[in-house]
A and B are shown apart, each in its own frame.
Chain A
Amino acid sequence: MENYLYFRKNRPISASVTLGSATQTCPAFAVADIGALAGNDNLNEIAAISITSLDGGGTGHADVLFTPTTIVPTLAYSGSALAIATGTTHWIEPSSQAYANGILVLDGHGTAGGYTLDTGDIVTAYWKTGLETACMYPVSALKGINATSDTVTTVHFASILGDNTDDVITFTHTAGEFDKICKMINDACNAYPLDGRMIKVYDGHDGVTRYLNENDATITLMEYAPEGGAAGMAT
């Protein structure tokens, strides 16, 4: 019997970017919101995308405009083109768009599900759990914790793949909080010695940070890097 350590990345409910020019390539979301930009390319993590138009555009900006009242589990996107009025907000289906390294690239109107963006439009993504957002390891897989600087702590686990490269969780935090992260993990490893349970060590979803035993390590970012990445793990 042993415990299992659970971690979940920081994610806000939503994050927005405002277009500085008329382009389909949105500005990058803030690292503080979504974590590292490089490699943040999982459309599965985006529940919905809304666009608030600065100055309208009429039907010239969207061939197919989506106006769902609920996003999931019931996707109710309309297939009818509607005029975009100044200041209105509409929704487009995430799976029709492209997302790589924290940057959304939307299809323009003329493509099914597309929306032509204009200067000043606000694009908002709503996040959910997706590939590698949350993970769980048995305590026996823990190899160690390392303070790589006064603001960065790495937690190493034996690789799920089984090669020689560790799976690594990297926490960015306020200077000097290394000991609190160590204490959290120590508490999780040694809790319920006669039982064996999953222990939530850190959970940053929904724009709220949650720490085991209230060991507030002021974590601002959690990055998860399993060996080989998702492609290597996916079977």
Chain B
Amino acid sequence: MRAENYLYFANAGDNDTDKDAAMYPASNFRGAVTMSSTTVEFFFDPLDGTGTTANGVLLTHADIATNATDGSSPYADDVHYTVMEKFAQLASANRNNTNNFTVVKDLNGSLPTNEGAISASGLTEVTAVAITTH
């Protein structure tokens, strides 16, 4: 059996509403693109089987640009790169003898009573999660 890594995302909801949380096999990852200076979206195979509209997880981080008026670089902080790099590390982190359940980001602060707590909160650079499914 091939070891597979599963990537978990949850927004600040309570896991009781559509698109509050999602989990994808790492092998379903298609690519990531910066969408603005504060967001990067990760795309996965859609769940509807059509394969033609990717599911997206939009992660928000600090603005990468800083002061440019003094002639210094506007790219003082490449946090989008950090988020991508850490995602890649998590996606490749599957090891034998682990459950390979990998929390990329969990912002949920109030789980339903019948759900156990997830011990990891994921990437510290991510401040918001928006999930789109198809």
Contact = CB atoms under 8 A, between A and B. Distances in A.
Contacts of A2: 92
B66 interface: yes
B85 to A, nearest CB: 5
Contacts of B66: 70-73
Q: How large, as a class, is the contact surface on chain B? A: 35 or more
A148 interface: no
Interface stretch (A44-52, A105-113, A179-187): A44-52
B34 A133 contact: yes
A129 B30 contact: no
A163 interface: yes
B37 A195 contact: no
Contacts of A145: none
B69 A91 contact: yes
B33 A135 contact: yes
A134 B94 contact: no
Interface stretch (A17-25, A27-35, A54-62, A227-235): A227-235
Contacts of A230: 33, 35
B103 interface: no
A13 B92 contact: no
A198 B85 contact: yes
Interface of A: 1-4, 6, 13-14, 44-45, 47-48, 50, 68-73, 91, 126-138, 140-141, 157-163, 167, 195-198, 200, 205-206, 226, 230, 233-235
Given A128-B64, A205-B75, A233-B43, A44 B88 contact: no
A177 to B, nearest CB: 25
Interface stretch (B7-15, B52-60, B118-126): B52-60
Given A1-B92, A72-B66, A141-B30, 9 more contacts: A2-B92, A13-B68, A14-B68, A72-B63, A91-B69, A130-B34, A136-B32, A196-B88, A235-B134
